[in-house]
Amino acid sequence: MSVPITAAPPAPALNMQQLLKHPLVKPAAALLALLLIDLIFIPGFFRLEWKEGHLYGSVIDIVNRAAPLMLAALGMTLVIATRGIDISVGAVVALSGTVAAMLVGGDMVPSNTLMYALGAAMGAALLCGLWNGILVSALGLQPIVATLILMVAGRGLAQLLTDGQIVTVYYQPYFFLGGGYLAGLPFSVFVVAAVLGVLAFLMRKTALGLFIQSVGINPVAARLAGVRTATLILFVYVFCAACAGLAGLMISSNIKSADANNAGLLLELDAILAVTLGGTSLAGGKFSLAGSILGALIIQTLTYTIYSLGVPPEVNMVVKSIVVFLVCLSQSAEFKQLITRRGV
C-alpha cells in the first residue's frame, strides 16, 4: 500500500512584531542612533587607520575605554538578577589597581613579581566580594547597606595604602593589559570577550543561569525547591568583585598609575545604568549579558559624543540622570498601567 507523500509545511515567516519585542532591540536601536549622530556631526568618526601595528580610530577608542565598564556591567548583571545591588564596584576598582601598582614598582621588575602583583590585586578583589556576599547571604543585610560599607571602607583603604598620592608605574609589560594590542585590536576587548564567553557558557549550558533567575524571581520558592540560595548569592557578589578587580587592573594599566581618589569613581552607577539599559530587570529574575554589553557601549558612546561636540562635561551627568529616570519609568508596572488606562 503506497503512502502519499505530502510536502512539508512552509516555515513560518519571521514575525516583525515578535522581532521588535526582542529585549535587545531597544538598546541596539539606541546605540545605532548615537552612532548615526556621530556619523553626521563628527567628521571622520568611522575612519580607521593602521599605525604601529594596530588600528586607530574613534570606534576603537570607544570600545577600548568601554572595556572596564563592560566587565563591571557583567558582574553587576548577576547581582541585579538576584534582586541585589553592589555600589562598592568603584572602591574595588581603586583597591585592586592600587595593590597592583604598589607591588609592581619601578621599571626593573621580574616577571614573577608582575604575576604576584596581579594575583594579589585579584585576591584583594575576591576578598571584597566575599565580604559583601557574607554580609548579604549569611547576615541578611540589605545589599545596598552591605555594599555601602565597602564603598566607603574600600576606597579609604586604598587611600591609606597610597597616603592619598598617585602611584606611578614605569614597568612596560604592565601596560599591556589596558593599553596593549593583539591582532590589531585592543587586548582589553579580548579579555572582555573571554569573560563574556565563559559567563555565557555557564548561563546557557549549566543550571547556573536557571538558578540565578529563580532566586531573582522568588528566593523563598527557590530555597524550598532545593536551590542553595545563600551560596548562589555569595557567588554572584564574589564574581562581581572579581570583574571589578579586573576592571581596576585595566584602568591602572591604561593610565600607567593608580589613583585611589578618582579611579573607578561613580563606575558602579554607570554599571547599574548599563545593566538596566540592556534590559535586565531591577526587580530581579530577568537578565541579559549581551544587553549589558550594549548598555556599556551606549554609555561610552554617549560620553564620547558629548565631549566631541564640545558640550560641557557637566551635561553628561544630566543626560545620564534623564536616561536613568526613563529606564525606571519603562520598568514600572504602575506607570505602564497608568499609560494603558489613559489609552496613550
Identify the bridge partners of residue 182 per DSSP, sorted by sequence position: 185
Query: Residues 216-250: pLDDT tens digits?
Result: 999 889 888 888 999 999 999 999 999 999 999 99
Question: Domain segments of the chain: what residues?
Answer: 53-311
What's the confidence (pLDDT) of residue 181?
Answer: 93
| Cα–Cα distance for residue pair 298/288, rounded to 1 Å | 15
55 in Cβ contact with 323 (< 8 Å)? no
Q: Give me 121's grid cell.
A: 590585586
Give the confidence band of 306 by pLDDT, cuts at 50, 70, 90: confident
Fold of 53-311: ABC transporter involved in vitamin B12 uptake, BtuC (1.10.3470)
Query: Residues 70-118: pLDDT tens digits?
Result: 999 999 999 999 999 999 999 999 999 999 999 987 655 676 788 999 9
Q: Please determine, for residue 277, whether its predicted confidence score (pLDDT) is greater than 80.
A: yes
| Cα–Cα distance for residue pair 321/273, rounded to 1 Å | 9
pTM as predicted: 0.90
Query: Residues 115-154: pLDDT tens digits?
Result: 999 999 999 999 999 999 999 999 999 999 999 999 999 9
* Mean pLDDT across the chain: 88
Q: How many CA atoms lie within 13 A of 120 on its CB side?
A: 15
What's the confidence (pLDDT) of residue 109?
Answer: 66
| Cα–Cα distance for residue pair 20/88, rounded to 1 Å | 35
